Structure 1
């Protein structure tokens, strides 16, 4: 074959290949779905009343990129990433909705299954934990990442609507990584590194029932504790649970919730009552309850009142457990919306913050102007 003809043939083949590739890319793009960009901006004024209490003005801006699409069989998918002010990824997940079979999700800081259950009482603005960290707010969040989450569709039984949520994590440490991540690959052969060290498998299961104006839900999770180091303080697997019930009649809503958190740590010696305690780090058991009532004045204005009590039980089996302490918070909130703009405020008073009976009581007031786009 003539070399010139051979060169021409190769050029034509390349052109044909590029044209075919371009055509296939156009076809894929046309069926790839859609992407939407949404966001919010908040300006807050916060003032606190305690020793050395101060005032501050803050800003918060979040942007979410969400892609959606549909497959030939009718199943749909969603891919979403939420960025904060500093362009840090706050949450990122991929979900697949399989019609009547439900939805499965994977990702980092997804909220897992538990986000539908913790502090689930009616509030005009923020949860109690916005002012002070409480045990109710973190129930189950050790499986926010590095896990698979399943949400069932709703089933109608005897006039009630029932849905189920389940999650599993092979390493329930709350940490996620892309494409398996280096730490996961290291952990595959080195149990003291990356995700392989202190925690094993984690499971979570929740159920929600709705009937007329009543909604009730319960969630429980268990995490395997294991410590390869000498002198382990982990004596049993961790268990966390929460349940709630709320009822709405006309413009008024009532809600009640209880939470329980046992990190499985050795309680020998306990923790001093006059020392701040970190949930899951301090030994002992954390129990909490919340009651709230909310009133929708009209379609734009709502107010609420919440009373929360979180109790720390040293569990030292001593005759007198001096470390036991109760942290109590009362919150009044108000919210007013005008289309894409909202004005919200709360005042939260806390006694024994940080489960420390020697700490000064706190009173925090926040006023926020929010814009959504």
Structure 2
């Protein structure tokens, strides 16, 4: 996203927050992009999307400033296809930052549900057999979601940061409220190494307990970045647990061109006949030349959602210009 217009507005912050700011900065961001998307190659993908070409159609409006007391205040609104889509407000200081997501955004767990390296998208992404992005997509152990969500991010403590998310009510998994936590560590003594862990423990629909956890490790050396991640989902209901393992590797051929390979395997603890492991693999690449970036991926999913012979393949390519 690139700055298209920037003007100083010292009075703007007063209309955004309940206290005055000594200075504020306003900007509008956007991009020019074309995407070719075939989420279910060889099956019903053409019927799902019709014309597979789409154009980026969002604008981001940002304002930031500092209050007389030294607090940083920032607000963001995204206009996406003529609809006010994502919007949030962030208050920051020596304590770290607190972001309130009025719409959109990821929880602490959701932001790291799969951080294994790739050059474009995760191995389980892109494939979508019915256009719903839910029942027609592979199963993944991810974080909760919902509007009007608080996310706290701590300052950096010698390479370690802590995050916590709270959705008071109305989130998509049916619980009255949702909380999760995540920690990431990049040891100063080991350059290129990142370790992370996230956990959630919540009561979901039917007064059932749902516990999730994930742990990952990534290491970058030279042009290579490798990573591995494990996740676990424990549900009160018998035979409703899940476990996943993911791997990824990328190689920067040069400053402009990167390639990647990733895999994801999900195991279902189910007594049903459809209890086959879901296996996803993806090959991705990204090339940047000046202000142009061309990136894409070809992904395959076998036994999607644990159903034997439910094998699908999808691919997506994106051309983006920066000005």
What is the TM-score when the length of structure 1 is the normalising length?
Answer: 0.71
Deviations 1:13-32 (A, max 9, x none): xxxxxxxxxxx979969945
Q: TM-score by structure 2 length? A: 0.81
Equivalent in the alignment of 2:215: 243
Secondary structure at 1:111 match in 2? coil
| Secondary structure of 1:168 counterpart | strand
113-122 vs 246-255, greater mean Cα deviation: 113-122
Q: Where does the alignment leave 5 or more consecutive residues of structure 1 unmatched?
A: 1-23, 176-197, 227-233, 271-283
Contact kept? 1:135, 1:286, Cα under 8 Å: no
Higher helix share: 1
Greater share of strand residues, 1 or 2? 2
Q: Which has the higher Rg, Structure 1 or Structure 2?
A: 1
Structure 2 gap segments, 5+ residues each: 1-9, 16-20, 128-136
User: 1:70 and 1:305, CA in 2 relative to 1: closer, same or farther beyond 3 A?
Assistant: same
Change beyond 3 A, Cα 1:121–1:36: same
* 2:115 is the alignment partner of 1:120: yes
2:282 pairs with 1:327: no
**For residues 26 and 92 of structure 1, do their structure 2 counterparts lie closer, same or farther at Cα, with a shift above 3 Å needed?**
closer
Residue among 274, 277, 287 paired with 1:336 = 287
Cα shift at 1:173: 1.4
1:218 alignment partner, one of 191, 197, 207: 197
Q: 1: distance between equivalents of 2:116 and 2:319?
A: 23
What are the within-5 Å matches in structure 2 for residues 94-113 of structure 1?
A: 94-98=89-93, 100-107=94-101, 108-113=103-108
- CA contact under 8 A between 2:100 and 2:149: conserved in structure 1? yes
Q: Give the 4+ runs in structure 1 shifted more than 4 A.
A: 24-30
Q: State the Cα RMSD in Å.
A: 2.6
Cα pair distance change 1:205/1:27, threshold 3 Å: closer
The residue aligned with 2:131 is: none
Residues 335 and 208 of structure 1, relative CA distance in 2, 3 Å threshold: same
Q: Residue 291 of structure 1: CA displacement?
A: 0.4
